[in-house]
Structures are given as structure tokens and as C-alpha cells.
Amino acid sequence: MANLLKLGGLRQVSARALHTQPTSTSSALALIRSQPNQYVIASLAGRKYLLAPRDLLTVPRMNDVRVGDVLALSEIHEIGSREFTLRGDPIIPKDAVKVAATVVEHTKGKMEIIVKKKRRTGYVRTIKHKQPYTRLRIGTIDVAVPEEVS
């Protein structure tokens, strides 16, 4: 015990034992899978979103989907948890992480009022519109079990 205190203390030894460094992608995925909460950064409709399970995501209107459809998010750039993060180059392979999103509704945003005016001519036009949106519920994040080679 005296040697541990001389070398830097018991706190450093216990901290090193808790934090393990992954040596490969499969071991990093296993460490992320063991964590209670995960998140992903995924591209959807041309934008990147930070997503966690059970999130409600509002994106610009997706015309080719119906309410109740399940979408598989294919472009996942990063997966992580509180302790570990794994970034793709530029994306993580599709077979490593699977994230599903369910279409909840098609809705419209608030009323936007655009006023066009030209000076000294009496020209005033008011344009009103509502932007259409699609709302998605993010499902569970499934991290693939690494295959062990014997």
C-alpha cells in the first residue's frame, strides 16, 4: 500500500482500471453497447441531427413516406455514449449500427407573413404561407454484436 501512495496514489490506479481504451472498432462498439445510453449523429434530408432513442424529430416535408412508415437511417456519422465515441470516415458502416425512425405525422409550421413593398408607388403585397414538416419518432439504437473470429 505504501508503494501505491508513493507512485501517485490510489485514486490514479482506480481511475486507470475504470477507463479502458478500445484497440479496434469491434471492441469500441462493444464498449458503447455496454453503456446504458447512446446517441447518434445522422444525416436526414440533407442535414445532420443529434439523435437519442425516443426523440421526436421535425424535418422538412418528406413526400414519399406515409404516417406509420418505418425508416432506416443509413448515414450515421457518429455513435457515442457518456464515456466513448466512435466517428465514421465519413460514415459508420451500415451493418455496425442500425437506427429506425417511425413517421408520426405530417404537419405545418406557424403562419409566416411576408410583406413586399415599394416606396412611393402604393405597391404593397402580403404573402402568407405555412411550411410543411414531417415528424419522426426515433426508435432504439441497435449496435451490432462484434463477430469473434476463432
Q: Quickly state the pLDDT bin for 25 (edges 50, 70, 90).
A: confident
Average pLDDT taken over every residue of the chain: 85
**The pLDDT of residue 147:** 67
Q: What share of the chain is helix, strand, coil (3-state, %, to 5)?
A: 15, 45, 35
What type of residue sits at position 84?
Answer: F
DSSP H/E element including 15: helix 10-18
Does residue 8 register a pLDDT over 50? no
In tens, the pLDDT along 92-110 reads: 988 889 999 999 999 999 9
β-pairing, 97-118 vs 85-87, is unpaired
What residues does each domain of the chain span?
25-106+135-143
